Structure 1
Amino acid sequence: MDGTLLRKDKTVSERTKKAIEDARKKGVTVVLATGRPIDGVTKYLEELDMYGENDYVLSYNGGLVLKTKNREAICKIGLTGEDLHYLYEISKELGVNIHAFSETKGLITPKNSKYTEVEANINNIKINIEDFNKLEKDHSIIKIMMIDEEEVLQKAIDNLPKEVYDKYTVVRSAPYFLEFLNKEVNKGVGVEMLAKHMGITLDQVITMGDAGNDLHMIECAGIGVAMGNAFEEIKEVANYITDTNENDGVAKAIEHLVLNS
């Protein structure tokens, strides 16, 4: 969504809305795939009229795939309080801020910070201050994020222990967001699970993205589309490169690959 479907002002262009509508009229299922929680995309689901019987949303980078109409889970794979304790200690050693999404408590953090505020504002959700050390080891966590200024976060990434990459799916979804998910989770897995649920094969799927958390999804689809503003690693694995998010890149890709093909 951010950097792909949405422009910098967090709106969807009229051309993109029309392209999505026209694709759906042709029988194409259009699904929003995002690192955001479900509450962070509801306004766009409403705007794009995606609350039908066969509408879905892929949230938390594939950690939770839902039917939009009744929020029935198609796929749910998360973390635990034990993972949070482990990554919290590492975040303190690296000198970066941290927050997480709890299944029952929402957005939680031991102390507020600039980029936790950004996360809350993007998703229109409240911040809950929580002592991570007091959370039960089996507390249900959906994803954990280290957040900080770009150069601070980059230094942390450079010094992240190798074992962290062995234990988790680690993706940089924005210059100031580093996300930790269950090792079995990424957007590509979410797409695979949803395709299986829908009874279609991956070669029938088109995915579009711009950031590191889109990589697996771009690789697994029949056609992976990189935005013109995408990270270089995304462009390198994509089958097709469209225009930027500011210049109707999603609409142009749909027109070229779906409507005019």
Structure 2
Amino acid sequence: MGKFDGVLLYTDYDDTLYNQHLTVSEENHRAIRYFMQEGGRFSIATGRAKRTFAPQIEKEHLEFNAPVVVSNGAGIYDFQAGRYVKESQLPHKAREHMAQLCAQYPDLSFEAYHGEEIYVYNPNVVTLKHLNRVGVPYQECGVDQMPTPWTKVIVEQDHPMLVQAQEYLLSHWGEDYEVIFSNPYLLEVTAKGANKGTMVAYVAKLLGIKPENVYCMGDNQNDIPMLEVSAIPFAPANCAQPVKDWGARLVGHTDDHAVAQVIEILDGIYK
């Protein structure tokens, strides 16, 4: 028995656990090991797909003892068991909808995730930078050549155009999609109801964790749904303005081992 028995902690990955030096600090590693050794259940809720997150486990020696929320809430993957616990897909008309969106805004690019494959339409500087960061192969093709179904889409351009794209998607098909920013240049599209918050709540119920013992931490707009289910919604000091405006409890910068700071706070709560 440990002090964190029955406690669940989820953290976002990029710019939260994975810092701006593109690594996970030893201080964060130590704190996470301590949390798990004391009975806590720890995992990650990431915008990355399973395929783009998996290489990070070996590269960064990641340790977790609960399923990972992937694709911005489009799925839950149990890496220990090697299977999806839950997975959602975009509606069958998503390809048609994306073609309409791109006809309306021809400078948009997007990535479509089909199984383990990534298909890219009209790549721009943002697209190439993102794909270089995640470091996996992809195929460039026309929208009508992309196989379906898709688990998620990432729309890419400068922020003002993405705001227009978000408004267009929500005004035309808001009943079908979650459309939310993971950073100012990446607009994430998942099936309605598929977000980090619903998936964290699903895992908590699966593990028998009470809502008052669920904690989440994230830095961007796409993290707000899971901050809403967190007993204390934590964010690093470098978080986006919408997260600050929403009212998250700020800790230190991601480069100052922010996850370790959250675990230190929990250490003071659970004695």
Per the TM superposition, whether the score is higher than 0.5 is yes
Match of 2:141 in 1: 130
Trace 1:38-187 onto structure 2 (pairs within 5 A): 38-46=50-58, 47-50=60-63, 54-95=65-106, 96-103=108-115, 106-135=117-146, 139-157=148-166, 162-187=171-196
1:190-201 paired onto structure 2 within 5 Å: 190-201=199-210
Tell me the secondary structure at the aligned position of residue 196 of structure 1.
Answer: helix
What residue in structure 2 maps to residue 225 of structure 1? 234
Which amino acid letter does the alignment assign opposite residue 135 of structure 2?
N
- Could you list the per-position Cα deviations for residues 156-214 of structure 1 after superposition, in whole angstroms to 9, with x for gaps in the alignment? 44555513333211110011101111002000011011111112122211100010110
Where 1:34 maps in the other structure, the secondary structure is: coil
Matched, 1:2 2:14: yes
From 22, 32, 44, give the equivalent of 2:34: 22
Partners of 2:235 and 2:251 within 8 A in 1: yes
* Structure 1 position 60, deviation (Å): 0.4
Judged with a 3 Å threshold, the aligned counterparts in structure 2 of structure 1 residues 184 and 192 are, in CA distance, closer, same or farther, namely same
Q: Residues 149 and 183 of structure 1: is their aligned pair in 2 closer, same or farther, counting only changes over 3 Å?
A: same
Correspondent of 1:214 among 198, 204, 223: 223
What SS class does the counterpart of residue 47 from structure 2 fall into? Answer: coil
Write the deviation string for residues 217-253 of structure 1: whole angstroms up to 9, x where unpaired. Answer: 0011222112211123323444521111122211111
- For residue 133 of structure 1, report the CA deviation from its aligned partner: 1.5
- The secondary structure found in structure 1 opposite 2:42 is coil
Matches of 1:233 and 1:18 in 2, distance apart?
Answer: 30
Give the whole-Å Cα distance in 2 for the aligned partners of 1:230 and 1:50.
Answer: 24
> Whole-Å Cα distance in 2 between the matches of residues 252 and 140 of structure 1?
40
Deviation at 1:11, TM superposition (A): 0.5
Conservation of the 8 A alpha-carbon contact between 2:119 and 2:146:
no
Which consecutive residues of structure 2, in runs of 5 or more, have no partner in the other structure?
1-12
- Give 2:70's aligned amino acid: S
State whether residues 111 and 153 of structure 2, in contact with CA within 8 Å, keep that contact through their aligned partners in structure 1: yes
2:78/2:84 contact within 8 Å kept: yes
Task: Provide, for residues 89-137 of structure 1, a one-character-per-residue CA deviation record: whole Å limited to 9, x for no partner.
Answer: 2123123222211115x1102333222222322222112123322446x
Native 8 Å contact 2:101 2:168 kept in 1? no
Paired residues of 2:72 and 2:188 also in contact (CA < 8 A)? no
Q: Percent identity?
A: 24
> Could you tell me how far apart the structure 1 residues matched to 2:173 and 2:130 are?
23
Q: Give yes or no for the alignment of 1:35 onto 2:47.
A: yes
Mapped contact 2:170–2:177 kept (Cα < 8 A): no
Q: Secondary structure at the match of 2:118?
A: strand
Contact persistence 2:110–2:123 (CA under 8 A): no
Runs of 4+ with >6 A deviation: none
Distance in 2, Cα, partners of 1:98 & 1:44: 23
* Corresponding residue of 2:8: none
Query: Cα distance, 1:49 vs. partner?
Result: 4.6
Which of 250, 253, 257 pairs up with 1:248?
257
Matched, 1:11 2:23: yes
Q: 1:241 is aligned with what amino acid? A: L
- Supply the distance in 2 between the matched residues of 1:235 and 1:225 (Cα, whole angstroms): 10
C-alpha distance 121-7 of structure 1, shift in aligned 2 (>3 A):
same
CA RMSD in angstroms, aligned pairs only: 2.1
Q: 5+ residue gaps in structure 1?
A: none
